[in-house]
Amino acid sequence: MAITAAQVKELRDITGISMMECKKALEETNGNIEESIDVLRKKWLSKAAKAADRQTSEGIIKVECEGNKCYIVSVQCETDFVAKTDVFQKMASEFLQVLKTEGNEETAKEKMEVMKTEYVMKMGENINIKDVKIISGGKVVPYLHSNEKLAAVVVSKETTTDDEKLKQVAMHVTATNPDVLSPADISEAVITKEKSIQLEIMKNDPKMAGKPEEVLLKIIEGKMDKFKSDISLLEQAFVINPDQKVKDFIGANTLESFYRFNI
């Protein structure tokens, strides 16, 4: 049976798979569209399984806020080329709508995992759903970098906090990647580990050779304040104005939490 260009185009429109592969499938099924879809599914699902272990270091983040809730989905793929395609963008937007509709991170991700199979068929790359997050609070303000690969969300305790100020703090979070909101949030385990690292560094420093360990520990205690400030959002120098700390810009008791996302 001769396969027409119209048949190939119809199958291509349905599956998103190349014209050549669609033609081969139609030839194999004597022009039967439904059977051709099954042939392609089997073939491309097999390819998807083989691709499952391939590294996904590219992708995009989608963010949407409504009221006091913010919805975030980040999806990874293998190449930046695919990440920029309309198909990949459409998929990520659909995933975001699933999250909004479900209102539950776990069930939403389960649905996305099922949906992504069709997109793996169309794009021929491994796809990883990295982040599925719903954030709520007094006021929730996001910042998404123009490349859609880096985002942050800050949560204010009060609904009256200035949106633009919160957005600037979110931008700061993307730039500095703090570990905690304030020094009080740093665990004893983290502090103990850092002290141990600093002690080993000083023991291997010729300038400190011969000094008793108790002396080294006192020196380390003096270094810990800087360490705590460096990893605490509120104590960091504000990237937009390094002469002031973040807490001086936004208020020491304004923020409830923050989140950072990257591909």
Residue 125 CB contacts under 8 Å (≥ 6 apart), including other chains? 51, 54, 56, 77, 78, 79, 82
The answer to whether the CB of 131 falls within 8 A of the CB of 73 is yes
Helix, strand, or coil (residue 215): helix
DSSP state of 233: G
pLDDT, one tens digit per residue, over 103-157 is: 999 999 999 998 888 788 777 788 999 999 999 999 999 999 999 999 999 999 9
Residue with tokens 């420093």: 205
pLDDT, one tens digit per residue, over 176-202 is: 999 999 999 999 999 999 988 888 888
Name the residue ranges covered by the structural domains of the chain: 5-51, 58-136
* Backbone CA torsion sign across 202, 203, 206, 212: positive
pLDDT band for position 208 (50/70/90)?
Answer: confident
CATH of segment(s) 5-51: 1.10.8.10
pLDDT, one tens digit per residue, over 42-52 is: 776 666 655 55
CATH number among 3.90.1150.10, 3.40.50.12780, 2.40.30.10, 3.30.479.20, domain 58-136: 3.30.479.20
Task: Name the average pLDDT for the chain.
Answer: 90
For residue 135, what pLDDT is reported? Answer: 98
Mean pLDDT of 245-260: 97
- The Cβ of residue 162 has, within 10 Å, a number of other Cβ atoms equal to 13
